[in-house]
Amino acid sequence: MNYKNGTYGAAADPSVAYDAKHGEWLISTLPLVGLSSSSGLIGDVAVSRSTDGLHWGNPINIDKTHLDDKNWSVCDDTPTSLYYGNCYTEWDQAYGSGDVLMSVSSDGGQTWGPGLASSDHAGGLGGEPVVQPNGTVVVPFQGGGIDVFSSTNGGASWGKSEAIASIDSHLVAANMRNPDLPSAGIDGAGNVYVVWSDCRFRKSCSSNDIVMSTSADGKTWSAITRVPIDATTSTVDHFLPGIGVDTNTSGGTAHLTIVYYYYPVAKCTTSTCQLDVGFTTSSDGGATWTAGAQIAGPMKVTWLPLSDNGYMVADYIGVSYVNGNPFGVFAVAQALSGSTYKESMFTTKAPLPLAGGALRFSGLADKPVVGAKSDHAIKFFYDDEGKRPIPRSRWIASADGN
CB 374 within 8 A of CB 206: no
Residue pLDDT tens, the chain, 402 long: 456 777 888 899 999 999 999 999 999 999 998 666 667 788 999 999 999 999 999 999 999 999 999 999 999 999 999 999 999 999 999 999 999 999 999 999 999 999 999 999 999 999 999 999 999 999 999 999 999 999 999 999 999 999 999 999 999 999 999 999 999 999 999 999 999 999 999 999 999 999 999 999 999 999 999 999 999 999 999 999 999 999 999 999 999 999 999 999 999 999 999 999 999 999 999 999 999 999 999 999 999 999 989 999 999 999 999 999 999 999 999 999 999 999 999 999 999 988 777 899 999 999 999 999 999 999 999 999 899 999 999 999 887 755
Pairing of strands 225-226, 325-337: unpaired
Give the CA distances from residue 259 to residues 103, 157, 180, 317, 364, in Å, rounded to whole numbers and listed in that order: 29, 33, 14, 7, 20
CB 73 within 8 A of CB 112: no
| C-alpha to C-alpha distance for 152 and 156, rounded to whole angstroms | 9
308-367 tens-digit pLDDT: 899 999 999 999 999 999 999 999 999 999 999 999 999 999 999 887 778 999 999 999
List the end-to-end C-alpha distance of the chain, in Å, as a whole number: 44
| C-alpha to C-alpha distance for 242 and 233, rounded to whole angstroms | 23
Task: Look at residue 358 in the predicted model and tell me its pLDDT.
Answer: 82
| C-alpha to C-alpha distance for 54 and 46, rounded to whole angstroms | 18
Q: Which amino acid is at 266?
A: A
What is the 3-state secondary structure of the chain? CCHHHCCCCEEEEEEEEEECCCCEEEEEEEEECCCCCCCCCCEEEEEEEECCCCCCCCCEEEEEEEEEEEEEEEECCCCCCCCCCCEEEEEECCCCCCEEEEEEECCCCCCCCCCECCCCCCECECCCCEECCCCCEEEEEECCCEEEEEECCCCCCCCCCEEEECCCCCCCCCCECCCCCCEEEECCCCCEEEEEEECCCCHHHCCCEEEEEEECCCCCCCCCEECCCCCCCCCCEEEEEEEEECCCCCHHHCCEEEEEEEECCCCCCCCCCEEEEEEEEECCCCCCEECCEEEEEEEEHHHCCEECCEECCCCCCEEEEECCEEEEEEEEEEEEECCEEEEEEECCCCCCCCCCCCCEECCCCCCCCCCCCCCCCCCCECCCCCCCECCHHHCCCCCCCC
Domains of the chain: 8-149 (2.120.10.10), 168-373 (no CATH)
For the beta sheet containing 10-19, the strands, ordered from the edge strand earlier in sequence to the opposite edge, are 10-19, 24-32, 43-50, 60-75, 87-92, 100-105
Strand-pair partners of 184? 194
Task: List the one residue out of 141, 147, 151 whose CA is nearest residue 399.
Answer: 147
State the number of CA atoms in the 13 A half-sphere of 386 facing the CB: 12
Task: Look at residue 7 in the predicted model and tell me its pLDDT.
Answer: 82
Task: List the one residue out of 86, 84, 94, 35 whose CA is nearest residue 63.
Answer: 94
Cis status of the peptide bond prior to 298, with omega within 30 of 0: yes
